[in-house]
Amino acid sequence: MFACAEQDFIPLRNSLLATYHTAYKVSPIALLVLFLVLIQGTSTTLTLVYHFSPALEALVSLAWAALYLISLVGLLRHFGINWITWLVRYRLLLVLLLMGVVFSAMWSIDAALTLERSAHLIGSTLIAFYIGFTIPLMRILTLSAVVMSTLMLFSVGAALALPDLGIENYEGTLVWRGIMTSKNTLGFWSAISVLLCAVVLGNMNSLAKKMLCFLGMLLALTALYFSVSATSVLAMVVAGLIMTYLFVAHRFNLGLISTLVLGVLCAALCAVAFLNINTAELIGRSGDLTGRGEVWSQTWKLVMLNPLTGYGYGTIWYPTDDTLWIQQSLTDFTWKVFHAHNGVLQLASEIGMPLTFLALLMIVQQLIEIVYCQYQRQQAGVLFVLGFTIALLVSNYSEARLVVNRELYWIFFVALPISMLQQVNVAATNTGFLPMPAPLHKRTRENQAENANSRKHRKQLKEKLKVRLEEKNRAATSDANIIEGDAKVIGSSSTKLVQRQIREQKRARRQKKTGS
């Protein structure tokens, strides 16, 4: 019975998605923005500029500014201010977090630096909104798979043909970094490319396209292996296992409750194994994860010294030559530390523990939405959104990739769940299940005029109803007075009638006794 139901559901789902993907014409500008973000956000352009022509670094910042402006104009053009209403309603935690980041300039060690990096964070978030609201999820994943596979190809080529660009010395060992800034960056996006190509592969019908997906996975696995990024391998394995587990659970119709119970049991077993196994040795690292222990210790001291507010967003980490003095004045590091090697610790040191807790709540909210869509409104690509989120969270154990500006980590983290919700709502229009956030509709002058007339008509109806209600209340009051008066009259008449009947009965008894 379940098999028959699933066979009936899958063609319907695919037809709905096919209609959505074909009938929904994506703006070429939106696709161009996504393409440029995939290149810029993986640090490819910055790496190439630093290697070949450092004088062009200003062009990279200019390109980001152009993407911010295009995204803002695109949102206003398509949706007016409706997208802001949607965000306040369904992404309130994110809005509050961004406001807190901006206000952290008030107590920042370097207010100008905090404002500058806060502006870049808001700009990066605008790009995420634009991509999420305007491009279907599977279109995002398909284009991302093509671009990521191409980047993996160039990274492998750079490591083999241009070792000065594609290889770096990491603690005496030559490792691959490809055309990205570091081996860990290459490792993470290689792991994501494997998951991405695997998901896209399941939605391809052509054999040629499936072979290209396999080629992309092979290139990504090669880059991941030679990058020697242990955290990325761990993130890929954990995300892949969770994706496979949920996929199998959905195929066997286990249901949400059964799946969650089994998931909790598996998580408990993994936690026991994590506590009893030397995981650092397991992934080939020293006990302090190659020096990260000292960074964590000093970062925690900074958090404890200023737990409520932190030291201002963007002030301590990712130092430049002009801002390195801040890190040196607050810590005892003997080398330049680019980030705290832990996403939560870095956030707490910059914006304080309350805002960090808010960010964690936002992460939980998005995870709930993803699991909800997977079981109640399962659609193509939802598993990748979950896999990416899990991989990003795992990687933040030893890297800092939460709430970072001008990085694809943050843009994908914000954009993918929004696009997922948009796709799910469109595909579920023929079902009786109530959607979560309603999809944004394109705003036109005709719609604006129609909405204005509708509001005017509703206002007139309310006024008429109000007048009728007042008249009805007055009529009811007067009717009550009349009824009360009639009741008094009726009451007095009935009393006289009873008295007359009593007198007649007495008279009849007397006549009977006397016989007259």
Domain-embedded: residue 204? yes
Q: What is the identity of the amino acid at 329?
A: S
The band of 432, judged by pLDDT with boundaries at 50, 70 and 90, is: very low
Q: Is the pLDDT of residue 22 over 70?
A: no
pLDDT at 223 over 90: yes
What was the pLDDT predicted at 292?
A: 79
**Phi, psi for residue 169 in degrees, rounded to 5:** -95, 115
Query: Do 279 and 286 contact (CB within 8 A), yes or no?
Result: no
Q: Which of 58-72, 92-106, 394-408, 426-440 has the lowest mean pLDDT?
A: 426-440
Q: What is the pLDDT at residue 487?
A: 52
- In this predicted structure, the answer to whether residue 184 has a pLDDT above a threshold of 80 is yes
pLDDT bin (cut points 50, 70, 90) of residue 2 is: very low
Take residue 367 and report the two structure tokens written for it.
Answer: 């995870």
The one-letter code for the residue type at 356 is T
* Maximum Cα–Cα distance across the chain: 145
Tens of pLDDT, residues 401-416: 999 999 999 999 999 9
Q: How many Å separate Cα 306 from the centre of its chain?
A: 29
- If pLDDT is split at 50, 70 and 90, which confidence band does 152 have? very high
Residue in 38, 32, 57, 37 with CA at minimum distance from that of residue 47 = 57
Percentage of the chain with pLDDT > 70? 77
CA distance 241 to 244: 5
Mean pLDDT comparison of 163-172, 438-447, 449-458, highest-scoring range: 163-172
pTM of the model: 0.77
Residue 206 is predicted with a pLDDT of 85
Burial class (CB in 10 A: 0-12, 13-18, 19+), 303: buried
Rounded CA separation 285/184 (Å): 14
Is pLDDT above 70 for 290?
A: no
Q: What would the DSSP string read from start to end of 428-458?
A: TTTSSSPPSSPPPPPP-HHHHHHHHHHHHHH
Q: Is residue 484 part of a domain?
A: no
477 inside domain: no
Number of domains into which the chain is organized: 1
- Cα–Cα distance for residue pair 415/396, rounded to 1 Å: 19
Q: What is the rounded CA–CA span in Å between residue 38 and residue 50?
A: 18
Is residue 408 in a domain? yes
Task: Please tell me which residue, 159 or 484, carries the higher pLDDT value.
Answer: 159
The arithmetic mean of pLDDT across residues 78-89, rounded, is 88
Residue 141's contacts (CB-CB under 8 Å, 6 or more residues apart) are: 196, 199, 200, 381, 384
- pLDDT at res. 259: 67
Over range 370-398, report the average pLDDT. Answer: 86
Q: What is the mean pLDDT of the chain?
A: 81
Contact predicate 156/178, CB 8 Å: yes
Rounded to whole angstroms, what are the CA distances from 145 to 150, 193, 197, 379? 8, 7, 6, 18
Q: Does 468 map to a domain?
A: no
At position 301, the amino acid (one-letter code) is K
State residue 281's pLDDT score: 47
Calculate what percentage of the chain has a pLDDT beyond 90: 46
Q: What is the mean pLDDT of residues 207-211?
A: 90
| Integer Cα distance of 46 and 359 in angstroms | 28
The range of the structural domain enclosing residue 144 comes to 13-427
- What are the strands, taking DSSP E only, across 156-225? 167-170, 173-176
> Does residue 138 sit within a domain?
yes
Does any domain span residue 284? yes
Domain contains 205: yes
- In angstroms, the CA 390 to CA 384 distance is 10
